[in-house]
Amino acid sequence: MDAAASINFYEPRPVKAREAALQGLSEAPAQHPPTVRLHAQSARAAAADSDAEDFTAAFHAADNACRALPPRPARRFGLHTAPLADYALTPYPATS
């Protein structure tokens, strides 16, 4: 759903982007880097839809989710996934 949110964001279909991010959040584990990315996706979709209140709420949720990540990052296919969360907190708001 992270990829679907990006595709819809750049189309531009911000409502569909936010829907994809929220659908992903309904399935993502709370303390996992993709949760951070999905909140950040929701934030930039809200900004693209001129919804400052939802942008702020979603960006704070992304930041809080990032702070809640365990000290030992999860590994996926032998790679650390924490950089994915850190990355989402910089360029996603910048594209907002």
pLDDT digits (tens, 9 = 90+) for 31-44: 888 899 999 999 99
pLDDT for residue 80: 65
Half-sphere exposure for 59 (CA within 13 Å, toward CB): 19
What is the rounded (10 degree) CA torsion for 68, 72, 74, 78? 160
Which sequence spans correspond to the domains of the chain?
Answer: 3-70
**C-alpha to C-alpha distance for 9 and 3, rounded to whole angstroms:** 10
pLDDT digits (tens, 9 = 90+) for 53-76: 999 999 999 999 999 988 766 565
Q: pLDDT-derived band of residue 5, with 50, 70 and 90 as boundaries?
A: very high
More confident residue, 79 or 48: 48
